[in-house]
Amino acid sequence: MFSRRATLIGAAGLAAAPVLLTAMHARAAEEVTDTSDAPPADVSGLQRIRRELVPPPFVHEHEQVAPGAPRVVEFEMTIIEKEVQVAKDAWLQAMTYNGSIPGPMMVVHQDDYVELTLKNDANNLMQHNIDFHAATGALGGGSLTLVNPGEQVVLRFRATKAGTFVYHCAPGGPMIPWHVVSGMHGCIMVLPREGLSDHAGRPVTYDRLFYIGETEFYIPRDESGAFRRYPDAGESYPDTLAVMNGLVPTHVVFNGAVGALTGDNALSARQGERVLFVHSQANRDTRPHLIGGHGDLVWEHGKFSNPPARDFETWFIRGGSAGAALYTFLQPGIYAYVNHNLIEAVNLGATAHIKVEGEWNNDLMEQVMPPTAFEVASDGRTALP
C-alpha cells in the first residue's frame, strides 16, 4: 500500500536551479511506502550504542567480534551540497553524506539494528534520501528517507546479511545516477557476530582497516577544453548530464579527488600488520590491485557468509557493490593500490599509496646487481654471452 507525499524544495531552490527542478525534480508528489498499519518493532530491550562517524579512508571505533546480544547502533549523517576540488584544474558541485566523498563507512554486526538519523541541510537545494543495499524492503530505505532541505528522518533496519554493502542516494528517475556520480555513496560493513574467518573457518582479525570509495566524475569542458565551474549543482546539471550520457568519465578517483590518498595523504602501515581493504564502487565495475602485494583473503563479492578466496593478484568489484581483501604486509616500502585499468589509475586518478615501515627481507626480494652498463659490440648490437 502506498501514500503520496508532496515534493517541496522551497522558493530559494527553485530560483537557484530552475532548469533542474522544472525538467526533472519538481514532481507534484513522490510515492513512498506506507508502513502506518504495521506494528512497530520492539527494540526496547536492546542495548543502544551511538557511533560517531569519521571521514574515509578511516572508520569509526568498533569491535571485530560482537560483545554480546544484538544492539541498536545509532548513527547520524548530514547531507551537504558543496563545491569540491577534484583535481588541480577541476571543480565539482558535489552532493555528499557528511561532507566527504565517499560518505563515511558504518560498521555493525549481523542482526544488529542500524538506526540512522539523516539530515538534509537547510542550505541545500535538493531533495535526497538513502538506499542501503544491506537493508530489506522499501527500496533499501529510499522510499522512507526522502527529505527536503531543512528536514530530518530516522530510519531503522535490521542488518540480516553479513558483508560489505554500498549505500547511495536514490531520489528517483534521472536524479539517481547524477546524485551518485556527484558523490552521494558510501559503504556499510556488517561483520559476522563471531568476526571474520578464513577459508578453513579459522578466526582472522585485522590491525587496520582502510576504506577506499571509488567514484567517476563527469565534469563538463568549455570551448577551449578547460573544465567548467558552476555556481551551484542546478546550474551544472544540463552540461553534466550530456557528459554522463557519453559514459566517458573525466576523472576516476579514490576518496573524492586525484591524489586524495597519495603523497602527503598516503596511508600508513607497519610490516607484519594485517590490513583489511574495503573497496566500494556505486556505479561501475572496478579491479583493485595492490602493486607489490596480494589479496591473501578476498571476499570479492563482499559477503562474509561465503569463504574467502586466496592469493588474488587483482579482484573484481561489480558496480553497485563493495568487496574486502585482507593482506599482511611483509616488506617495507611504498605500495600502490590501484584500479588495474591502468589508464584510469595513472591518467584519471584511481591510485592510492601505502607507506609501510619495517626491515627489508632480501629472501623475499633482492637486487642482485644494480643497474650497470653492459658491453656493446662494434656493430651496435648487444654482446651476447
Q: Is 353 a catalytic residue?
A: no
List, as own/partner pairs, every contact residues 174-177 make where C-beta atoms lie below 8 angstroms and the sequence separation is at least 24, other chains included. Answer: 174/24, 174/241, 175/24, 175/25, 175/126, 177/244, 177/283
The active-site residue, picked from 24, 115, 164, 179, is 179
pTM: 0.90
Beta bridge partners of 109: 191
Q: Is 187 a catalytic residue?
A: no
Cis check: omega of the bond before 102, within 30 degrees of 0? yes
Angstrom distance (rounded) from CA 333 to CA 162: 34
Q: Is 169 a catalytic residue?
A: yes
The active-site residue, picked from 109, 289, 294, 301, is 289
Q: Is residue 91 within 8 Å of 232, Cβ to Cβ?
A: no
Q: Is 95 a catalytic residue?
A: no
The active-site residue, picked from 22, 313, 357, 365, is 313
Q: Is 363 a catalytic residue?
A: no
The active-site residue, picked from 175, 184, 187, 244, is 184
pLDDT 10s digit of each residue in the chain, 385 long? 223 233 333 333 333 443 344 334 434 234 556 676 888 899 999 999 999 999 999 999 999 999 999 999 999 999 999 999 999 999 999 999 999 999 999 999 999 999 999 999 999 999 999 999 999 999 999 999 999 999 999 999 999 999 999 999 999 999 999 999 999 999 999 999 999 999 999 999 999 999 999 999 999 999 999 999 999 999 999 999 999 999 999 999 999 999 999 999 999 999 999 999 999 999 999 999 999 999 999 999 999 999 999 999 999 999 999 999 999 999 999 999 999 999 999 999 999 999 999 999 999 999 999 999 988 877 767 666 6
Nearby residues of 125 by Cβ (< 8 Å), 6 or more positions away:
9, 12, 13, 16, 17, 20, 81, 149, 232, 233, 234
Q: Is 294 a catalytic residue?
A: no
- E strand or H helix at 237, and its extent? helix 233-244
Return the CATH superfamily for domain 211-357.
Cupredoxins -  blue copper proteins (2.60.40.420)
Give strand ranges (E) for 282-350.
288-291, 295-299, 309-312, 321-328, 333-339
Q: Is 151 a catalytic residue?
A: no
